[in-house]
Chain A
Amino acid sequence: MQNNILTMTEEKFQIRIDKEEKIEPKDWMPEGYRKHLIRQISQHAHSEIIGMQPEGNWISRAPSLRAKMILLAKVQDEAGHGLYLYSACETLGISRQELVSQLHSGKAKYSSIFNYPTLSWADMGAIGWLVDGAAIVNQVSLQRTSFGPYSRGMVKICKEESFHQRQGYEIMAQMAKGTSEQKAMAQDALNRFWWPSIMMFGPNDSDSPRTGNAMKWKIKRKTNDELRQEFIDKTVNQAEIIGLTIPDKDLKWNEQRQHYDFGEMDWDEFWNVVNGNGPCNKQRLNHHKKAHDDGQWVREAAKSYAQKQELIAN
Chain B
Amino acid sequence: MDNELLNYTLRIADNSLILGQRMSEWCSKGPTLEEDIALSNISLDLFGQANGFYSYASQLDGNKSPDDLAFLRNEREFFNQQIVELENIDFGNTIVRNFLYDSYNFLFYSSLKNSKDDTLSALASKSLKEVKYHLRHSKNWLIRLGDGTEFSKQKVQQSLEDIWQYTHDMFSMDEIDNKMYKLNIGINNSHLKDEWDKIIDETLLEAKLVRPEDGYKAKGGKNGMHTEHLGFLLAEMQFLQRAHPNAKW
**Contact residues in B for A300 (Cβ distance below 8 Å):** 148-149, 151-152
Q: Do residues A174 and B248 form an inter-chain contact, with CB atoms below 8 A?
A: yes
Partner of B249, one of A67, A75, A301, A308: A67
A121 vs B246: C-alpha distance when bound (angstroms): 15
Closest Cβ of chain A to B141, distance in Å, is: 8
Q: Do residues B43 and A72 form an inter-chain contact, with CB atoms below 8 A?
A: yes
Q: Which A residues from 33 to 81 make CB contacts under 8 A with B?
A: 49, 52-53, 56, 59-69, 72-73, 75-76, 79-80
Partner of A179, one of B28, B36, B41, B244: B244
Knowing A65-B66, A302-B148, say if A72 contacts B247 (CB, 8 Å): no
Q: Do residues A294 and B91 form an inter-chain contact, with CB atoms below 8 A?
A: yes
**Contact residues in B for A63 (Cβ distance below 8 Å):** 71, 240-241, 244, 247, 249
Q: Do residues A294 and B43 form an inter-chain contact, with CB atoms below 8 A?
A: no
B214 at the interface (CB under 8 A from A): no
Closest Cβ of chain A to B240, distance in Å, is: 4
Closest Cβ of chain B to A74, distance in Å, is: 10
B205 at the interface (CB under 8 A from A): no
Partner of B37, one of A60, A65, A79, A294: A79
B213 at the interface (CB under 8 A from A): no
Interface residue count on the B side (C-beta < 8 Å)? 50
Binds A, one of B44-52, B115-123, B124-132, B223-231: B44-52
Interface residue count on the A side (C-beta < 8 Å)? 49
Partner of A83, one of B24, B37, B66: B37
Q: Do residues B28 and A291 form an inter-chain contact, with CB atoms below 8 A?
A: yes
Q: Do residues B152 and A76 form an inter-chain contact, with CB atoms below 8 A?
A: no
Knowing A64-B249, A300-B149, say if A69 contacts B51 (CB, 8 Å): yes
A287 vs B44: C-alpha distance when bound (angstroms): 23
A86 vs B145: C-alpha distance when bound (angstroms): 26
Closest Cβ of chain A to B192, distance in Å, is: 28
Knowing A65-B66, A67-B249, A73-B44, say if A302 contacts B144 (CB, 8 Å): yes
Write the B44-84 contact mask toward A (1 if CB under 8 angstroms, else 0): 10011011001000000000001100110000000000000
A296 vs B43: C-alpha distance when bound (angstroms): 23
B147 at the interface (CB under 8 A from A): yes
Q: Which of B50, B149, B241 is the most central at the interface, judged by chain A CB atoms within 10 Å of its CB?
A: B149
**Interface majority SS (helix, strand, loop, mixed), chain B:** helix
B143 at the interface (CB under 8 A from A): yes
**Contact residues in B for A49 (Cβ distance below 8 Å):** 28, 33
Q: Do residues A75 and B28 form an inter-chain contact, with CB atoms below 8 A?
A: yes
B29 at the interface (CB under 8 A from A): yes
Residue ID in chain B nearest A120 by CB atoms = B240
Q: Do residues B148 and A182 form an inter-chain contact, with CB atoms below 8 A?
A: no
Q: Which A residues from 163 to 198 make CB contacts under 8 A with B?
A: 171, 174-175, 178-179, 181-182
Q: Which of B24, B27, B34, B144 is the most central at the interface, judged by chain A CB atoms within 10 Å of its CB?
A: B27
A66 vs B47: C-alpha distance when bound (angstroms): 9
Partner of A72, one of B31, B44, B151: B44
B90 at the interface (CB under 8 A from A): yes
**Contact residues in A for B54 (Cβ distance below 8 Å):** 65
Residue ID in chain A nearest B51 by CB atoms = A65
A287 vs B25: C-alpha distance when bound (angstroms): 13
Closest Cβ of chain B to A89, distance in Å, is: 13
Q: Do residues B241 and A76 form an inter-chain contact, with CB atoms below 8 A?
A: no
Knowing A179-B244, A182-B247, A301-B149, say if A291 contacts B40 (CB, 8 Å): no
Q: Which 9 A-B pairs have the closest CB atoms?
A: A301-B148, A295-B31, A301-B152, A298-B31, A63-B240, A63-B249, A76-B40, A52-B28, A305-B144
**A56-B27, A59-B27, A297-B151 given; 9 more Cβ-contact pairs under 8 Å:** A52-B28, A53-B28, A61-B236, A65-B17, A72-B27, A75-B27, A295-B31, A296-B31, A304-B149
